[in-house]
């Protein structure tokens, strides 16, 4: 599956390739449906986002999420298969989590996970976060709703990178290197966020 297509009629294109099923999620700007690829029969999640309802900052965060999901390829991170971009809609074709998210699991199971299974899932989450940090990606929104289960695979995966700031970090590091400054201690604790500006900035150059 390719990463990006541009079509004026999103509905027709999606229906040409996928058989859409039930709605599994709905928000102010997006709808998520189960779908099956017509030729491969692979089950996926189709997230359709209405760009007309987003302000410029939200659009920036949205495209940051897409770029990040293309970059981050790990067994414990939800995979982005394809992006369909039109003037008014953005459609993301994603791995389908057949076990739902961790929040739903907690609500449905008052006694929680058994200790052995909890340890296994915790290790998987840690591996995903370690990989993201090695790629200079800071998730910033880790919560049960953004951890989804793949029961057939027996794994948990990280999703929803809408609040990451990878490109801004890269620009800051490029500038530092051009000024012959090497940070040497790049880690989440040394990245500070300015929510009103929608930016992230480097701090703590004490180890240069």
> pLDDT 10s per residue in the chain (208 long)?
444 555 545 666 677 888 889 998 888 888 999 999 999 999 999 999 999 988 887 888 788 778 888 888 999 999 999 998 888 889 999 999 999 898 888 888 888 778 898 899 999 999 999 998 888 777 777 888 899 999 888 899 998 875 554 555 555 555 555 555 454 555 555 454 444 444 455 555 554 4
Residue 137 lies in a domain: no
Domain boundary among 43, 74, 95: 95
What's the chain's length in residues?
208
Q: Show binding-site residues.
A: 47
Residue 170 belongs to domain spanning: 166-202
Indicate the SS3 state at residue 186. Answer: coil
Residue 79 lies in a domain: yes
Active site residues: 141
Nearest to 26 by CA among 60, 54, 49: 49
Total domains present in the chain: 2
Residue 184 lies in a domain: yes
Render the burial of 27-36: b for 16+ CB within 10 Å, e for the rest: eeebebbbbe
Residue 107 lies in a domain: no
**Order of strands across the sheet that contains 18-26:** 4-6, 80-85, 89-95, 43-50, 30-37, 18-26
Tokens of 28: 């102010």
Q: Show binding-site residues for ATP.
A: 47
């Amino acid at each position: 599956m390719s990463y990006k297509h541009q079509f004026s009629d999103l509905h027709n294109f999606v229906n040409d390739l996928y058989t859409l099923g039930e709605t599994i999620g709905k928000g102010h700007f997006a709808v998520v449906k189960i779908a099956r690829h017509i030729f491969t029969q692979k089950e996926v999640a189709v997230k359709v986002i209405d760009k007309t309802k987003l302000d410029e900052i939200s659009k920036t965060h949205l495209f940051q999420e897409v770029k990040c999901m293309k970059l981050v390829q790990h067994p414990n991170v939800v995979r982005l298969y394809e992006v369909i971009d039109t003037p008014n809609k953005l459609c993301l074709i994603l791995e389908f989590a057949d076990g739902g998210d961790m929040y739903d699991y907690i609500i449905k199971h008052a006694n929680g996970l058994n200790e052995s299974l909890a340890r296994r899932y915790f290790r998987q989450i840690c591996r995903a976060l370690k990989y993201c940090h090695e790629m200079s990606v800071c998730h910033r929104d880790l919560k049960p709703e953004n951890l989804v289960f793949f029961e057939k695979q027996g794994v948990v995966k990280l999703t929803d990178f809408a609040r990451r700031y990878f490109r801004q970090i890269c620009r800051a590091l490029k500038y530092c290197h051009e000024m012959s400054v090497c940070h040497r201690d790049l880690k989440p604790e040394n990245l500070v966020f300015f929510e009103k500006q929608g930016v992230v900035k480097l701090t703590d150059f004490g180890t240069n």
